[in-house]
Chains A and B, each alone.
Chain A
Amino acid sequence: MASIPRSSRRPAPPAVRLSLSDPFVRSIVYQILVVGGVALIIWYLVSNTMTNMEARKIASGFDFLNREAGFAISEHSIDYSPADTYFRALVVGVLNTLLIAVLGIVLATILGTVIGIGRLAKNWLIAKVCSVYVEVMRNLPLAVQLFFWYAMIIENLPGPRQAISPLPGVFLSSRGIMVPVPGDDPAYGWMLIACLIGVVATLLISRWARARQAATGQQFPMMRAAAGLILGLPLLAWLAGGAPTTLDWPELRGFNFQGGGSMSPEFAALLLGLVTYTAAFIAEIVRSGILAVSHGQTEAASALGLRRSLNLRLVVLPQALRVIIPPMISQYLNITKNSSLAVLIGYPDIVSIANTALNQTGQAIEGIAIIMLVYLTVSLSIAVFGNWYNKRLALVER
């Protein structure tokens, strides 16, 4: 709401005249009218809905969340069975949405950056291939691409009994991709912890190194130290744990593969579709960001004697990022929101599961409200984080 204009420097204001010709009174009256009008409309819509639902004997409220869901979900990152509640089913859906969104964001950023830089390459072929990729991908509707990828996977791959095995233990079939995963051994847990310790230590050391360089000018071999910490510590933990080599192999038992890790065709198709589609937009953002850094900057850096890699890291990227970050955030939001197209190809994301729940219980308004709440929360979190990061990177004007 607009702030009320009231200057303290105004010479002894005359007693407020209760007239609409007074700008102060007028602005207050208008604001009350607008707020009142909006409140009235909201009240009207809510009460109208409640009355109509009452009249039609449609159940309402959130009690259904504690009832047994009764339907199965194919992919769940936490334990779930049809005997669990609707609430748990919805949590499974939210986690599935987050999984696809996070993986999609990471992979699309990598692919998009490579293609964006590729479009600027001096090599004619690389530049053209990247241009064609961008123009094709961003001009086809995502839904069409998802159907395409899904059909490609399930129509072309054989059934589980005739699965293709490109590597021992790796199977490709219409049930998805099966890979061996590390088996059950305490050493693997320790490796994970060691890796986390390595990451934290790296962050601390890099801070210290930067402070030291600023103070003394001495450089520290950061890359080697980081590699040693992040890879070396888990390796030590593995050796200390007795160097176990147990793997959980996928095995054909009955109708399907059991054991090992797997990626379903639905997940694979959705991830492929989201990543390849969004990467095209990210490529354009990256390209525009790099082109936005004026040539004079790189020339000046070269004149100062900076190597090409340092030039890119210290001069071009920090300035390009300022241009890249804001549109990039909106692409990340797009990936998250577009993941709701999962419904089309049967990946159990939050929309799919909430739809099923609202259909089984008949509580459409609550179901849709939950979907909106989830997307709003996730999207706003991404936006808040993005804005914070953008502020950190933004040019500090003195």
Chain B
Amino acid sequence: MKHLGRIAATAAIALGALAGTAQAQQSTVDAVKAKGFVQCGVNTGLAGFSAPDSQGVWKGLDVDMCRGVAAAVFGDASKVRYTGLTAQQRFTALQSGEVDILARNTTWTLQRDTSLGLDFVAVNFYDGQGFMVKNSLNVKSAKELNGATVCVQPGTTTELNLADYFRANRMQFKPVVIEKMEEVVAAYLAGRCDAYTTDMSGLASTRSAQGANASQHLILPDVISKEPLGPAVRHGDNKWADIVRWTFNVMVEAEEMGLTSANIDSKMNDPNPGIQRLVGKTGDMGKQLGLENNWSYNIIKQVGNYGESYERNIKPIGLERGVNELWSKGGIMYAPPVR
């Protein structure tokens, strides 16, 4: 009888512990506030988007997205922890709750938006897929790549576009598919492949990382796909999705209004009602998002506007603004009104 009692008690405790994990989904913003930081899923190392610098501090356009959210939620852009994810790990990491935001140069597609259990909330970089080859190969266009061996990362839209492009043009190719970016780039550099394919931004980033040897590599002019890259959150948590979406929109709107991290303090008393709202003097936008009313001020002050982030991160890898310029300056970067 004593034994039986002990077994029953153990079973009850075990089941109780299991039941504890089955609690209803907690709202992400409450969970984030409770733990005191934003857990952000980023690329393991893509210069310009997310890569640790020589001091181990994460820098990049995607990293600024996470810092912006931390500034909005905590008023402190440094309250972010980063999880480096490979292309194959990223969606599972977000689905399982390992990260709160996935800001990892991820392409927004219908299939990902619907069946992966996540929601894309913004596009922070308009990209397209291209090819990089060695100059010595004497290739000037992607159309000349028939029969080539192409290095590519698995589990990406890139891998699918590559197959589509060669099928559409009735050309043959052999893929070399390696998951880790460092390894796949190493295989390309060692001559295992004739071409390396990824988004144009990724190619520019990889090329610039070659330092003095950068000029030995040529990025072909053909852009074979649309790749709108943006942050994603878990499906169904609209409150959190709103915060991430409007954090990005504030960064774009600030650029439109000429507000920068440097001049925002001097514009605190600017009579422009749009600026008054953005610095938190009027309106209750913060409250509507469930945040402090100076949330947008904190984003601009601590992270800067979209243009600043672009200048700081993407320019150094050799990419001009292009289509990522503001709509008012000939690009397509356009934020809904922040009001």
Contacts and interface: CB of A to CB of B under 8 A. Distances in A.
Interface of A: 20, 29-30, 33, 37, 40-41, 44, 48, 52-53, 55-59, 70-74, 81-83, 151, 154-155, 158-159, 174-175, 253-256, 258, 265-266, 343-346, 348, 352, 355-356, 359-362, 364
A148 to B, nearest CB: 13
B163 A82 contact: yes
Contacts of B174: 72, 74, 256
8 contacts: A56-B234, A58-B95, A154-B191, A254-B147, A254-B148, A256-B149, A352-B179, A360-B155
B50 to A, nearest CB: 19
A359 B176 contact: no
Interface string B145-163: 1111100001100011011
B322 interface: no
Contacts, number: 142
A56 B149 contact: no
A304 B170 CA distance: 74
Interface residues on B, range: 35 or more
A52 B23 CA distance: 10
A158 B136 CA distance: 13
Contact of A72 (B7, B21, B162, B179): B162
Contact of B117 (A56, A256, A360): A56
A255 B149 contact: yes
B149 A159 contact: no
A359 to B, nearest CB: 3
B190 interface: yes
Contact of A59 (B115, B167, B186): B115
Nearest to B116: A362
Interface string B108-149: 000110111100000000000000000000000000011111
B327 interface: no
B15 interface: yes
B116 A355 contact: no
A83 B167 contact: yes
A159 B190 CA distance: 9
A72 B150 CA distance: 11
A154 B189 CA distance: 10
B176 A346 contact: yes
Given A343-B179, A345-B178, A361-B115, 16 more contacts: A56-B117, A57-B117, A58-B115, A58-B117, A70-B163, A72-B163, A74-B177, A159-B191, A174-B191, A175-B192, A344-B183, A346-B177, A346-B187, A355-B179, A356-B154, A359-B155
B154 A174 contact: no
A74 B91 contact: no
B215 interface: no
A362 B115 contact: yes
Interface string B1-44: 10010011001001100100110010000000000000000000
B236 A56 contact: yes
B167 A82 contact: yes
B147 A57 contact: no
B222 interface: no
Contacts of B4: 20, 29-30
